[in-house]
Amino acid sequence: MTSQYSVGRPCGRKSFLDAPGELRNTFYHHFIDLSPSTSDAANLACVNQQVHAEFTTLYLSRRYQGTTGLPFEHVPFFLHFFFVRYPDAAPKTVVYKFKVGLGNPTPKSIDFDTAPCWSLDLLKVVSVMRKYPLIKVVWDLGAGMGRYSAVSFDDTDIVYAVRNLRSMSSRHFSKLSSIRLTLSESPKELHNFQPFRVVTGPSLDASLSIKSKKGVTEDFFDKFDTNCGGINVELALEDSTDSNEESSDGEEDIPVDGHEDSESEDQVLPDLGDLILF
């Protein structure tokens, strides 16, 4: 027996949105019970603004009020499709908590001289967190990640850096053009020079590169707190002509009504596989 409803635009049949709210909720709950990948869930959430508002509330409350995990490199994708794509539909009054662990190194090593590396666009991440203050991120870079489950790195350093960026004034934050957090595996020969410590797994080095927009003077960085423990912080002035790529609060440009153009409406989340790792 075929259904008389379709999720997309009506094609001679009733639209899914014409179904009673109880039926739509039953569908959403059944979909979540199937444990979809984060990619599949995001694709459904971005069908349109109404589905996003209805489904996202249920999905995030059931999956991300505990401590469900995401790979380090996929956090911007996750935040974009559930919180930025339809900003007016994303709930701001619910606490969402997820754990970030190391995923696959990018770019992948192609020779023995290149150490595994992870990179995160922290500007996008913090921009969303500033708009949705109830988002809680647990940085646990050594959890359940195979050979990196015993990684040596103090996650509190990242927590400290993110907290400073979240609490920065809007005036100062709007002048930032780039924040890139990079993790790389330390050369093995350096591990042996750590006194009174037995290194049983890989160790990570971290760097935080912060650039300001063009036109900002050097004294802009005078009050920056660069004490992030084991993270090497680099501050630089933007010298390119592409300093206006980000919006005034360091975020992607989003239309006032929360909708993107028709071309982007048809785009879906790339096949990132199952992002639920924990």
Please check whether residue 20 lies inside any domain of the structure. no
Burial class from Cβ neighbours inside 10 Å (0-12, 13-18, 19+) for residue 229 reads middle
Please check whether residue 53 lies inside any domain of the structure. no
Burial class from Cβ neighbours inside 10 Å (0-12, 13-18, 19+) for residue 69 reads buried
> How many CB atoms are located within 10 Å of the residue 9 CB?
10
* Contacts of 230 by beta carbon, 8 Å cutoff, 6+ apart: 153, 154, 157, 205, 206
Please check whether residue 187 lies inside any domain of the structure. yes
pLDDT tens for the chain, residues 1 to 278: 444 445 555 455 568 888 888 999 999 999 999 988 888 888 899 888 999 999 988 888 888 766 677 888 888 888 998 999 888 888 888 888 888 888 777 655 445 556 778 889 999 999 999 999 888 888 887 655 555 665 667 788 889 899 999 999 999 999 999 999 998 877 655 444 444 444 556 777 889 999 999 888 888 888 787 777 778 889 998 774 444 444 444 444 433 333 344 334 444 445 444 444 33
* Contacts of 276 by beta carbon, 8 Å cutoff, 6+ apart: 35, 37, 38, 63, 68, 69, 70
Q: Of 216, 219, 221, 270, which Cα lies nearest the Cα of 243?
A: 216
- Write out the residue range of the structural domain in which residue 216 sits: 98-243
Please check whether residue 136 lies inside any domain of the structure. yes
- Domain count across the chain: 1
Model confidence, pTM = 0.74
Q: Of 254, 265, 237, 260, which Cα lies nearest the Cα of 128?
A: 254
Please check whether residue 179 lies inside any domain of the structure. yes
Cα–Cα dist 71/6, whole Å? 33
Please check whether residue 106 lies inside any domain of the structure. yes
Please check whether residue 211 lies inside any domain of the structure. yes
Burial class from Cβ neighbours inside 10 Å (0-12, 13-18, 19+) for residue 198 reads exposed
Q: Are strands 68-71 and 96-101 parallel, antiparallel or unpaired?
A: parallel
Query: For residue range 218-245, what is the model confidence (pLDDT) as tens digits?
Result: 888 887 877 777 788 899 987 744 444 4
Phi-psi region of 258 (alpha: psi -120 to 50; beta: other; left: phi over 0): left
Torsion sign over Cα 241, 243, 247, 248:
negative
Please check whether residue 184 lies inside any domain of the structure. yes
The CA–CA distances, whole Å, from 183 to 125, 140, 157, 168, 224 equal 16, 13, 12, 23, 21
